[in-house]
Amino acid sequence: MSVLIDRETKVIVQGITGRDGAFHAKEMIEYGTQVAAGVTPGKGGQKTDCGVPVFDTMEEAVRATGANTSVIFVPAVFAADAVCEAADAGVSLVVCISEGVPVQDMVRVLPYLGERGTRLIGPNCPGIISPGKSKVGIMPGDIHREGPIGVVSRSGTLTYEMVYHLTRNGLGQSTCIGIGGDPVAGTNILDAMELFAGDEQTEALVLIGEIGGSDEEEAAAVIEAGYPKKVVAFIAGRTAPAGKRMGHAGAIVTGGTGTAAGKVAAFEAVGVEVAETPEEIAGIVKNLL
């Protein structure tokens, strides 16, 4: 099994004729993902270098291909509208790679998606991969291997580093979800944990958190209440100064809340071992299995 995507997932790339959309569409196809179509307004009727048909709208692309997933590579100013267009077209999963999307746009978009039953991953995220099955986004496929470890991360590059260490130590992954580091995101840590809780393939879960927000503390409460999977964690930003934004819009400590120390303490209080460095994760996971 896997979470959210598998070999049957059919993907539409919004912004496929742009530099990033074209490059990553090709990478997804080479990995084995079913990229059914692309969408760029005004360029319908064309085909990409990979032979993917381009449509003017999501409604046309979904009707022609039956795709159920969209991945968005458009400028931030257009990202919210692209997400809503995908939901209106009937796809069940939207992965928004675009960064710099205004928070107020996301506050408006999330209820809109909820009314239509569409799940969003992102924005400002690397996407999702189920090794050996499909990838939707920008994660490097060659470092992943199929296996029993689920990964949920607020950081893109830390996801890659953690996966590298897991794979190097013979620990494959069921699904890896990069949820992004923005303060308002479509899928948070708790949402992802719920998905993995019902996945038979996943035996243990690696949570990669960071300073800012309260997701990690809330995750600890879920674990204390009897979460069915074994969990290990890593918290980025231990040396970050209070009040200074660190890369991600959500990675900021304000008013004494959202600190790395507080998140580590919350996990350790419910028996979750927290790695001090990414290299330690694989050894901790091995001891759990």
Which residues are designated catalytic? 248
What residue spans of 120-188 are helical by DSSP H? 156-168
- Alpha-carbon gap, residue 226 to 265, rounded angstroms: 18
Quote the crossing angle between the two packed helices 280-288 and 156-168, to the nearest 10°: 60
- Alpha-carbon gap, residue 178 to 86, rounded angstroms: 20
Q: DSSP secondary-structure letter at 273?
A: E
Q: Which of 25, 51, 10, 35 is nearest to 138 (CA)?
A: 25
State which amino acid sits at residue 149. Answer: I
Q: DSSP secondary-structure letter at 240?
A: P
Partnered with residue 271 across adjacent β-strands are none
- Alpha-carbon gap, residue 208 to 47, rounded angstroms: 39
